[in-house]
């Protein structure tokens, strides 16, 4: 999960999130390198006035500062376009289709498995411990029914809303899919390892916006099929 002391992105949990992390870190390396080059030349200009005339008349230097940024832009563009196309690969047959519907203030899920006629539907709400606790205590990261998805297969997510704008987001998937009433927004991910991934509504949607967590449970293939057979 996100921490205050965190300086980088959260650890990626899906293949697509891993690709995005490569783009982010690649661009970061280029940006740091450019900052050092610019600072180096600024330092020379400020502290050594004799070199200024060389900079103004130097043809080779002009070629250098035109060609080098062009090479950087081509590198950044290639890795970005590559990640964009790979992450948006919809020709691949998804193993599971999940429809996520935002409500004030809970999520509901509909899961269709492997193109079959069976669709599982349920609501997923935040767990309130007010019954056991003297205070009105809400457990912000626990829901009554999480969303199970298989590990190693592509999960396609279609997100919509029934009332206001929401957004279905999970930091470790590097996903934030807007839930717009009357529209379906698409995203996909392929989990790498089994485990629990926490997410939340990331669009201010009303008084209890903070009480819309989403918990995604990455299950091994055998466990997932067992869940599907139990639910049917």
Binding site for Cu ion (CB under 5 A): 166, 201, 205, 212
Q: Which is nearer to Cu ion, 12 or 171 (CB)?
A: 171
| Distance between CA atoms of residues 214 and 227, nearest Å | 18
Q: In what order do the strands lie in the sheet with 106-113?
A: 119-124, 106-113, 96-103, 154-161, 185-190
Shortest distance, CB of residue 174 to Cu ion, whole angstroms? Answer: 19
Q: Which is nearer to Cu ion, 202 or 228 (CB)?
A: 202
Shortest distance, CB of residue 125 to Cu ion, whole angstroms? Answer: 13
Shortest distance, CB of residue 121 to Cu ion, whole angstroms? Answer: 19
Which two structure tokens, joined as six digits, stand for 82? 């590559």
Q: Which is nearer to Cu ion, 191 or 212 (CB)?
A: 212
The β-bridge partners of 104 are none
Beta strands 166-170 and 138-143, pairing class:
unpaired
Shortest distance, CB of residue 203 to Cu ion, whole angstroms? Answer: 6
Q: Which is nearer to Cu ion, 199 or 218 (CB)?
A: 199
Q: Which is nearer to Cu ion, 12 or 213 (CB)?
A: 213
| Distance between CA atoms of residues 98 and 104, nearest Å | 19
Q: Which is nearer to Cu ion, 175 or 228 (CB)?
A: 175
Shortest distance, CB of residue 110 to Cu ion, whole angstroms? Answer: 18
| Cβ burial, residue 149 (10 Å; 0-12/13-18/19+) | buried
Place of tokens 């927004």: 185
Q: Which is nearer to Cu ion, 93 or 162 (CB)?
A: 162
| Cβ burial, residue 102 (10 Å; 0-12/13-18/19+) | buried
Shortest distance, CB of residue 209 to Cu ion, whole angstroms? Answer: 5
Strand extents, DSSP E, the chain: 96-103, 106-113, 119-124, 126-128, 138-143, 147-150, 154-161, 166-170, 175-179, 185-190, 195-201, 213-219
Shortest distance, CB of residue 162 to Cu ion, whole angstroms? Answer: 11
Q: How many helices (H) and strands (E) does the chain have?
A: 4, 12
């Amino acid at each position: 999960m996100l921490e205050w002391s965190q300086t980088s992105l959260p650890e990626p949990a899906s293949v697509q999130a891993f690709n995005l992390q490569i783009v982010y870190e690649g661009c970061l390396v280029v940006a740091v390198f450019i900052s050092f080059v610019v600072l180096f030349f600024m330092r020379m200009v400020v502290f050594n006035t004799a070199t200024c005339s060389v900079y103004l008349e130097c043809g080779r230097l002009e070629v250098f500062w035109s060609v080098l940024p062009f090479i950087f832009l081509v590198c950044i563009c290639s890795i970005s376009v590559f990640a964009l196309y790979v992450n948006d690969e919809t020709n691949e047959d998804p193993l599971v289709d999940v429809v996520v519907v935002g409500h004030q203030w809970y999520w509901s899920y509909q899961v269709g498995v492997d193109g079959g006629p069976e669709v599982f539907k349920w609501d997923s709400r935040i767990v309130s411990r007010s019954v056991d606790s003297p205070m009105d205590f809400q457990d912000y990261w626990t829901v009554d029914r999480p969303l199970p998805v298989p590990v190693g297969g592509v999960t396609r997510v279609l997100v919509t809303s029934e009332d206001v704008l929401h957004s279905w987001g999970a930091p470790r998937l590097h996903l934030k899919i807007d839930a717009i009433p009357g529209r379906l927004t698409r995203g996909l991910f392929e989990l790498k390892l089994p485990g629990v991934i926490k997410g939340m509504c990331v669009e201010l949607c009303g008084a209890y916006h903070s009480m819309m967590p989403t918990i995604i449970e990455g299950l091994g293939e055998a466990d997932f099929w067992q869940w599907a057979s139990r639910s049917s």
